[in-house]
Amino acid sequence: MEMRSEKDISGCSLAGFISESGERISGDVIISSIAVMHERGNGLGGGFAAYGIYPDYRDYYALHLICDDDKSREQAERFIENNFYIECKEPIPTRNVPSITDPPILMRYFIKPIVESGKEDDFVMHAAMKINAEIDGVYVISSGKNMGAFKAVGYPEDVGVFFRLEEYEGYTWIAHGRFPTNTPGWWGGAHPFTILDWAVVHNGEISSYGINKRYLEMFGYRCTLLTDTEVMAYLFDLLLRRHRLPVEIVAKALASPFWEDIERMPPGKRELMMAVRSVYGSALVNGPFAILLGYRDGLIGLNDRIKLRPLVAARKGDILYIASEEAAIREITNPADVWMPKAGEPVIGRLKGETQ
């Protein structure tokens, strides 16, 4: 008889796409894609992130919050009012879905820092972390401009219906169906994990969490959710936004080639990879993973350096698609080109035009 461990760490589903021309696409498309991979999850977490969905508030940071009760909401709101100008605040629209039970209070605030310092991104980042760490019963789901994250306990297709995502249009969408392994299934623990406009969905398990967390804490990040995906979102923020490294170098820092492979590289490339591994050794992500990173200007797909989790990419016209399974892509398009990204090699889609 075939025996299986009770712990199955090969699940989770990822799906995403970007229209590089900036065409905004309805949320029902990404729901159809992620629903194909229903069996990869167990209903304990589903979520989405979308870019270009708030054109009327494109210059404001959009804070999405989940709150346990009115007391925690009021406490968070006082903090926001003391530090930000609020252009608009409102409940995040939802509809009743039988499988989504006991939802928390869901709010969104379109804000700008009261004091303009030229470092507004850092101010918002630290404010979001302060809310997460110090205000009980409140969690910031997302905090970027012209984007938002939507997540819950449930299957992703049900979560999409719950949040009425068919009413939104975005040029980039990413989605996740969760199979939690080391952390419980709760609303804040569903993917994506975000900071500012970086949003990560992740399939895998990272064994380097401890050293990655300590490395990030040196730069002022507060890892409050005890999950490897949160760490990956912060690593991207640190290396891409604060250190201003090219995407290709960041990929090599997180999924570095083995030393034996570096030694066989041509001299110039070898010296570069040795420098990346030496300087950013604590950012190396160990363990099996496949991720999608959404951000203001693009979409990135990345595997670990020996590709222990599935990831497939495709193109049709100006749209790049990335998913755990090819079927999820073919559900929503008939692609002109399909390929399996190489281990440790990023697949990058870049926004080339103004959003429409």
Q: What SS3 state is found at 206?
A: coil
Helix (H) or strand (E) holding 314: strand 312-316
Residue 199 DSSP symbol: E
Amino acid at 272: L
Whether 210 contacts 226, CB under 8 Å: no
Give Cβ neighbours of residue 210 (< 8 Å, ≥ 6 apart).
none
Q: Are 253 and 302 in contact, with CB atoms under 8 Å apart? A: no
CB–CB of 332/29 below 8 Å? yes
Angle CA 330–350–170, to nearest 5 = 65
Can you give the three-state secondary structure of 156-190, one letter per residue?
HHHHHHHCCHHHCEECEEEEEECCCCCCCCCHHHC
Measure Cα distances from 81 to 67, 88, 89, 219, 349 in Å. 16, 12, 11, 27, 37
Task: Compute how many other C-beta atoms are within 10 angstroms of the C-beta atom of residue 90.
Answer: 9
Using a 10 angstrom Cβ sphere, with 0-12 exposed, 13-18 middle and 19 or more buried, the burial of residue 83 is middle
State the DSSP H helix or E strand holding residue 329, giving kind and residue range, or none if neither: helix 326-330
Q: Which of 3, 16, 2 is nearest to 192 (CA)?
A: 16
Which member of 12, 67, 88, 223 is catalytic?
12
Active site residue 12: yes
Do 324 and 14 meet the contact criterion of CB atoms below 8 Å apart?
yes
Active site residues: 12
